[in-house]
């Protein structure tokens, strides 16, 4: 749905834009916001403006977020639009170009499964987002959605995007992480009506990133009894084929009592192992890179072990979990086990080597990225991906558009 956005005043978007709240810790957020009084981190990570001894989930943190937002509004850093509209948001990072529609989705569609999910959420993280959103009286960070292409509806969405982006953007800038951000307003009338009808015609949308924000939107709507626009939540929706999914690699602290030689022998039941001359970045599915004792191994998953029917079981990360991490290393629940860490693919194999070479971890696994098609197949089956299955990059910037409830 089109929405009446709150956006940075003309020319201020570069000074407001910030990384999402959940990709920086408090120290990183403080450093990024230092000397930047209009950084959106003052709203999305308000604990940076309180003393170090304040619990980041204390009530005064959420109150501080509201204070920061009201200050941005009263000073004109952020301004509400006069009418409801869709926006087009394009991001470029290297060869990746993704262009999506900014709008609002309904909590009812999330509850019904029309907006499909593929991850479990943690209650404590939901609680944090519920308190934050409710205190602001607004959705301040969007949920990242995707859709399948190849239908008349998806073609019509593409046509509106093409026509809109042929015009002049109202913002075009690059952030310090090398991501360019370009925004356009969709014209009222036929283009907006086409988007409303086309999104309604899509059989399903899929949460790519933002499961906790989606779940929090559901709870906030219930908390507020649907008052104002709380029955809607902020989203950016992209064609799935444009999205850049990086691997989510793994490292484990010990070998569960095995020697490196014994562990390699145990791995032969799952992989065909070949010593590699250097780092292994899998070029295709069913290949894993293993770093152990200063040596990389190219590990090919034995084909007879893969259940090609089950959309979850056939994932490389499922094979690794079910045949290596759980039975050999004793990691039955990777969401809670402190012996495993997950490394976003943007850090590459060098990040894995550093962990193992420093002695903090005994073995690391370099994975092939899960595809968007695989994610949607799992969601369509009503199943759940293994933890830390996908790393979408670039991330959506925060502060470029908000959805207030009133």
Is residue 386 a part of any domain in this protein? Answer: no
Residues 206 and 265 placed together within one structural domain of the fold: no
Residues 266 and 220 placed together within one structural domain of the fold: no
Least confident of 74-83, 93-102, 116-125, 178-187: 116-125
Residues 99 and 220 placed together within one structural domain of the fold: yes
| Phi/psi at 199 (5° precision) | -65, -35
Chain-wide mean pLDDT for the chain? 95
How confident is residue 153, by pLDDT bands cut at 50, 70 and 90?
Answer: very high
Residues 266 and 119 placed together within one structural domain of the fold: no
CA dist., res. 6 & res. 132, Å (int): 17
Residues 162 and 282 placed together within one structural domain of the fold: no
Residue 344 is predicted with a pLDDT of: 81
Assess contact for 138 and 404: CB atoms under 8 A: yes
Each residue's pLDDT tens digit, 225-236: 988 899 999 999
Angstrom distances, CA of residue 215 to CA of 102, 108, 113, 145: 19, 12, 12, 14
List 106's β-bridge partners, or say none: 232
How confident is residue 382, by pLDDT bands cut at 50, 70 and 90?
Answer: very high
Total structural domains within the chain? 2
Residues 325 and 214 placed together within one structural domain of the fold: no
Asked whether residue 347 carries a pLDDT value surpassing 90, the answer given is no
Is residue 271 a part of any domain in this protein? Answer: yes
CATH of the domain at 258: 3.30.1760
- The pTM score is 0.91
Each residue's pLDDT tens digit, 349-359: 999 999 999 99
Is residue 374 a part of any domain in this protein? Answer: no
How confident is residue 254, by pLDDT bands cut at 50, 70 and 90?
Answer: very high
Residues 240 and 359 placed together within one structural domain of the fold: no
Q: State what percent of residues in the chain have pLDDT above 90.
A: 91
Is residue 343 a part of any domain in this protein? Answer: yes
Strand order in the sheet with 180-185: 115-116, 205-209, 143-147, 232-239, 96-106, 87-93, 180-185, 171-174
Mean pLDDT of 242-258: 95
Residues 325 and 311 placed together within one structural domain of the fold: yes
* 57: its two tokens: 């989930």
Residues 45 and 94 placed together within one structural domain of the fold: yes
Residues 185 and 252 placed together within one structural domain of the fold: no
Is residue 376 a part of any domain in this protein? Answer: no
Q: Give the domain range for residue 134.
A: 6-244+392-404
Closest CA to 127 of 233, 219, 56: 219
First to last CA, the chain: 16
Mean pLDDT of 58-77: 98
Residue 198 is predicted with a pLDDT of: 98
Is residue 104 a part of any domain in this protein? Answer: yes
Each residue's pLDDT tens digit, 180-218: 999 999 999 999 999 999 999 999 999 999 999 999 999
Compute the C-alpha angle 17/20/26, nearest 5°. Answer: 100
Residues 288 and 232 placed together within one structural domain of the fold: no
How confident is residue 336, by pLDDT bands cut at 50, 70 and 90?
Answer: confident
Residues 143 and 283 placed together within one structural domain of the fold: no
Is residue 1 a part of any domain in this protein? Answer: no
Residue 241 is predicted with a pLDDT of: 96
CA dist., res. 219 & res. 211, Å (int): 13
Is residue 156 a part of any domain in this protein? Answer: yes
Each residue's pLDDT tens digit, 114-142: 999 998 898 999 999 999 999 999 999 99
Asked whether residue 345 carries a pLDDT value surpassing 80, the answer given is no
């Amino acid at each position: 749905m089109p929405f009446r956005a709150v956006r940075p005043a003309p020319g201020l978007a570069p000074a407001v834009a910030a990384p999402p709240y959940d990709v920086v810790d408090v120290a990183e957020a403080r450093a990024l916001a230092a000397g930047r009084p209009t950084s959106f981190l003052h709203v999305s990570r308000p604990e940076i403006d309180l003393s170090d001894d304040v619990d980041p989930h204390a009530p005064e943190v959420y109150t501080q977020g509201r204070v920061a937002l009201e200050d941005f509004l009263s000073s004109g850093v952020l301004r509400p639009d006069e009418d409801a509209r869709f926006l087009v948001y394009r991001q470029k990072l290297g060869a990746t170009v993704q262009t999506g529609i900014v709008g609002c989705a309904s909590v009812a569609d999330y509850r019904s499964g029309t907006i499909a999910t593929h991850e479990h959420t943690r209650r404590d993280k939901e609680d944090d987002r519920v308190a934050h959103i409710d205190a602001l009286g607004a959705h301040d960070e969007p949920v990242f959605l995707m859709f399948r292409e190849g239908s008349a509806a998806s073609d019509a969405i593409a046509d509106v995007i093409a026509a809109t982006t042929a015009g002049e953007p109202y913002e075009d800038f690059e952030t310090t992480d090398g991501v360019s951000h370009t925004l356009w307003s969709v014209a009222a009338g036929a283009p907006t009506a086409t988007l409303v009808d086309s999104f309604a015609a899509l059989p399903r949308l899929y949460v790519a990133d933002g499961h906790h924000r989606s779940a929090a939107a559901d709870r906030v709507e219930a908390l507020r009894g649907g008052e104002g626009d709380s029955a809607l939540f902020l989203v950016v929706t992209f064609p799935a084929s444009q999205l850049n999914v990086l691997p989510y690699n793994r490292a484990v602290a010990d070998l569960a009592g095995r020697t490196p030689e014994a562990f390699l022998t145990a791995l032969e039941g799952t992989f065909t192992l070949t010593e590699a001359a250097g780092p292994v970045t899998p070029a295709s599915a069913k290949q894993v890179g293993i770093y152990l004792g200063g040596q990389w191994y190219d590990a090919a998953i034995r084909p007879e072990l893969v259940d090609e029917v089950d959309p979850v079981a056939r994932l490389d990360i499922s094979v690794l979990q079910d045949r290596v991490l759980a039975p050999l290393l004793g990691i039955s629940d990777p969401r809670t086990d402190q012996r495993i860490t997950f490394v976003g693919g943007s850090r590459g194999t060098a990040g894995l080597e550093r962990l193992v070479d420093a002695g903090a971890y005994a073995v690391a696994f370099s994975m092939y990225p899960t595809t968007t098609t695989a994610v949607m197949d799992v969601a369509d089956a009503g199943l759940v991906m293994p933890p830390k299955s996908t790393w979408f990059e670039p991330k959506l910037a925060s502060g470029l558009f908000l959805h207030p409830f009133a």
